[in-house]
Amino acid sequence: MRRHLSRLESYWRALFALAAGLLTLFAFAPYSFYPFAVLGPALLFLLWLDATPRQALAEGWSFGIGLLGFGVFWMHISIDQFGNVGTVLAMLITLLFIIAVSGFYGLAGWLGRRLMANARPAVLLILVFPLTWVLGEWLRGWFLTGFPWLALGYSQIDSLLSGFAPVFGVYGVSLAVAVSSGLLVLAYSDRRIEPLMALVLAIVIWGDGYLLGRVQWTEDTGETLKVSLIQGNIDQAEKWKRENLESTLALYRDLSRESRESDVIIWPETAVPAFLHQLDETFLTPLEEEFQAQESQGKKSALLMGIPVWQPEGKHYYNALLALDGERDEYYKRHLVPFGEFMPLKSLIGPLLEWIEIPMSDFSAGAAVRPLIRLAGRPVGVSICYEDAFGEEMIQALPDAQYLVNVSNDAWFGDSLALPQHLEIARMRALETGRYLLRSTNTGISALIDQRGQLMGRSPKFQQHVLSGDIQAMQGMTPYARYGNWLVVAFSVAGLLLTLIICRYRNCRHT
């Protein structure tokens, strides 16, 4: 197959790479056929073996467009329906964004071929390509505040390789998948020793994943909490209309009253469609008094709600969480969505967006050092929507946080791939931290996730629903919670440098 690919014209090679990217998409939720995460990059690596740096750049870029172009094209829904720019322009903006972020796959290929132009296939497949791949993914999750969606490791949440997540995080899982892809290509080598070496290394990697997955990295405190997640299912197009405010508040209040046996009740992101100061006396204070009154009956529930906050003195407004638990506690969203909640490179891009009349939110980022809030007397790690895509930020709540909460409003993206993909990301965060994670959403998918990333319960999509269950308060730290992404990033950089040094003084050339 390699001989046939090497004879193809550049545009056919790019089309092949695009198809490999599309194939890889089916490894992720909702399809979850995780072997495709090994097969798709393997096909790309096969192209890269005979590519020049420029060809590797184009082929990697094409792969990214195949994966992200079909995988996250749902972004146009919010731009079209709620940005009021029209379908064609919304799709064009989304396509330009996808083309831009797909470049990191091209960068990985270009760097691999540039550093090792004549290295042996085994060196490229086992070391160089997987290491540049992971560095490219990490950079994509960092540049312009980051877009880490569909990192390869997320697809393995139900495979043996998920055992690497509590140690190295999602990028460590990506590295294990990428090495497996290289080994798959190496298994078809004409040299007798290389297929055997590929088999042995594959057994070692997947076996290590299995063994690591059996380790109990954290332990429960012995305390069980009953929790309820309120899914209001408020249509995004109707949510912020003034005439719907009272009915929305009544809905969440009534559903919460039905959950009074729970220790913790959680409403989704911006469940309250008005600023805190507008409802403090008329709704929030009476609601607090109502919750406090049940304490005299021997039962007390803590309430966590999503609500926007306006601070007129600084002319800032925040996407916030408010805890009502005797004393109030607040958390302001720190990691804002680029081009949705804030505008990066505002001085450069702002005039263009104003010229084509694209409405932009301009939230301020919260200044909290750690994403912690107290609920029912316990420290809880919290995140709002997109923040749970960043594992290195979630671990800042540890070791204090006894469980994690993510509130979201994925109604922006309709009934698209965004919903199951976001749930898959949340499962990875639970596994990385060894903590239960409660995911409360407006329209779905709300979920209770245990410390191993397994679903204990989930809500239906686009239905009013109260999801209740028991969780365990946890303590302890996983290796990933201690060291974050720097462990796998440092390993990748050091691995590339060491490979370069060794190949400079020893014969790593392809013969």
**Secondary-structure percent of the chain, ordered helix, strand, coil, rounded to 5:** 55, 15, 30
Q: In 3D, which of 334, 335, 340 has the Cα closest to residue 353? A: 340
Strand order in the sheet with 378-384: 372-375, 378-384, 403-408, 437-441, 447-449, 455-458
Distance CA 52, CA 60 (A): 12
- How distant is the alpha carbon of residue 31 from its chain centre? 17
Distance CA 470, CA 257 (A): 18
- Which residue among the candidates 59, 194, 385, 503 is catalytic per the annotation? 385
- Which residue among the candidates 59, 137, 194, 269 is catalytic per the annotation? 269
Residue 333 among the catalytic residues: yes
Residue 385 among the catalytic residues: yes
Distance CA 64, CA 68 (A): 6
Distance CA 203, CA 207 (A): 6
Token digits of residue 6: 């090497």
- Which residue among the candidates 137, 333, 341, 387 is catalytic per the annotation? 333
Distance CA 401, CA 241 (A): 36
Residue 424 among the catalytic residues: no
Query: Quick one: CA torsion of 66, 70, 75, 80, rounded to 10 degrees?
Result: 110
Question: 378-384 and 372-375: which strand pairing?
Answer: antiparallel
Residue 26: DSSP 8-state: T
Stretch (H or E) spanning 256: helix 245-257
Q: In 3D, which of 108, 115, 121 has the Cα closest to residue 50? A: 121
Q: Within 10 A of 187 (CB to CB), how many other CB atoms are there?
A: 17
Distance CA 184, CA 122 (A): 11
Residue 456 phi, psi (nearest 5): -90, -25
Which residues are identified as catalytic? 269, 333, 385
